[in-house]
Structure 1
Amino acid sequence: MPPLDLHVAVFGASGAGKTVLLAAFYRAQTQPSFQQEYAYKIQAVNKAQGNRLLGRFYRLEEGTFPDGSTRFDEIEFDFFPRDLPEPAVRIHWYDYPGRWWEEEPVDADEREAMRQGLLRLGMSQVGILLADGAKYRSEGTGYIRWLFEHFADECDRLRRTSAAAGEEVSFPREWILALSKADLFPPEYSARDFEREVCRDADDQLAKLCAVLRAEHAFGHRFMLLSSVAAPPDAQVDPRTSLGVRTLAPAVLVSTVEGAVREAQASRKEKSAKETFFQGLRDLMQFVDSVDDFLPKRYQIVSKILRFVSIKDFASTRVDRLKKAREDAIRRGDTFKAVLTGMVAALRDDEGLRAYHQNQ
Structure 2
Amino acid sequence: MPPLDLHVAVFGASGAGKTVLLAAFYRAQTQPSFQQEYAYKIQAVNKAQGNRLLGRFYRLEEGTFPDGSTRFDEIEFDFFPRDLPEPAVRIHWYDYPGRWWEEEPVDADEREAMREGLLRLGMSQVGILLADGAKYRSEGTGYMRWLFEHFADECDRLRRTSAAAGEEVSFPREWILALSKADLFPPEYSARDFEREVCRDADDQLAKLCAVLRAEHAFGHRFMLLSSVAAPPDAQVDPKTSLGVRTLAPAVLVSTVEGAVREAQASRKEKSAKETFFQGLRDLMQFVDSVDDFLPKRYQIVSKILRFVSIKDFASTRVDRLKRMREDAIRRGDTFKAVLTGMVAALRDDEGLRAYHQNQ
- The interval holding the TM-score normalised by the smaller chain is over 0.9
1:301 aligns with 2:301: yes
- For residues 36-95 of structure 1, what are the alpha-carbon distances to aligned partners after superposition, in whole Å with 9 as ceiling and x for unaligned? 000000000000000000000000000000000000000000000000000000000000
- Please state how far the C-alpha of 1:138 moved relative to its aligned partner: 0.3
Identify the residue that residue 320 of structure 1 maps to in structure 2: 320
Q: Provide the C-alpha distance between the structure 2 equivalents of 1:253 and 1:99, rounded to a whole number of angstroms.
A: 28
CA deviation after TM superposition for structure 1 residue 273, in Å = 1.9
1:247-302 residue CA offsets vs partner (Å, 9 max, x unmatched): 00000000000000000000010212221112112123325642111210000000
- Distance change (3 Å), C-alpha of 1:36 and 1:170: same
Secondary structure class of the residue paired with 2:312: helix
Aligned length: 360
CA contact (8 A) 2:24 2:245 kept: yes
Q: Which runs of 5+ in 1 are unaligned?
A: none
Q: Secondary structure at the match of 2:111?
A: helix
TM-score, normalization by structure 1 = 0.99
Native 8 Å contact 2:289 2:303 kept in 1:
no
Change (3 A) 1:37 1:174: same
User: Any conservation in 1 of the 2:288–2:306 contact (CA below 8 Å)?
Assistant: no
Deviations for 1:108-166, whole angstroms, at most 9, x for unmatched residues? 00000000011111100000000000000000011000000000000000000000000
Q: Secondary structure at the match of 1:189?
A: coil
- Residue 29 of structure 1: how far off its partner (Å): 0.1
Structure 2 counterparts to residues 186-201 of structure 1, below 5 A: 186-201=186-201
Matched-pair contact (CA < 8 Å) for 2:285–2:306: no
The whole-number CA distance in structure 2 between the counterparts of 1:77 and 1:286 is: 31
Counterpart CA distance in 1 for 2:88 and 2:284 is: 25
2:69–2:97 contact (8 Å) kept in structure 1:
yes
User: Residue 26 of structure 2 contacts residue 53 of structure 2 at CA under 8 Å; is this kept in 1?
Assistant: yes
Structure 1 residue 325 displacement after superposition: 0.1
Structure 1 residues 3-12 or 269-278, which shifts more? Answer: 269-278
Tell me the distance in 2 between the aligned counterparts of 1:274 and 1:282: 14
In 2, Cα distance between equivalents of 1:204 and 1:236: 40
Q: For residues 106 and 314 of structure 1, do their structure 2 counterparts lie closer, same or farther at Cα, with a shift above 3 Å needed?
A: same
Q: Deviations over 1:282-336 (max 9, x none)?
A: 1233256421112100000000001110011001100100000000000000000
Write the distance in 1 (CA, Å) between the matches of 2:288 and 2:189: 43
Cα RMSD of the aligned pairs, angstroms, is: 0.7
Distance 1:304 1:287, change over 3 A: closer
CA contact (8 A) 2:261 2:280 kept: yes
Q: Is the 8 A contact 2:222 2:358 kept in 1?
A: yes
**C-alpha distance in 1 between matches for 2:4 and 2:77:** 11
Query: Which string of whole-angstrom CA distances, capped at 9 and with x for unpartnered residues, describes residues 174-223 of structure 1?
Result: 00000000000000000000000000000000000000000000000100
Give TM-score, length-normalised by structure 2.
0.99
Give me the whole-angstrom Cα distance separating, in 1, the residues matched to 2:308 and 2:207.
36
Q: Would you say the 8 A contact 2:78–2:91 is kept in 1?
A: yes
Aligned-residue sequence identity (percent) comes to: 99
* Distance verdict in 2 for CA 1:82–1:287, change over 3 Å: closer
More displaced stretch, 280-289 vs 56-65: 280-289
Name the SS for the 1:15 alignment partner: coil
- Residue of structure 1 equivalent to 2:226: 226
Contact 2:72 2:95 in 1 (8 A): yes
Instruction: Determine the C-alpha separation between the residues in 1 that align with 2:128 and 2:264.
Output: 22
Q: 5+ unaligned residues in a row in structure 2: which ranges? A: none
Query: What SS does structure 2 have at the residue aligned with 1:217?
Result: coil
Alignment of 1:247-266 (within 5 A): 247-266=247-266
In the alignment, the residues of structure 1 paired with residue 292 and residue 235 of structure 2 have an alpha-carbon distance, to the nearest angstrom, of: 52
Where do 1:50-129 residues align within 5 Å?
50-129=50-129
Task: Name segments (4+ residues, structure 1) moved above 2 Å.
Answer: 284-289
The answer (yes or no) to whether the contact 2:26–2:42 under 8 Å persists in 1 is: yes
Helix, strand or coil at the partner of 2:269: coil
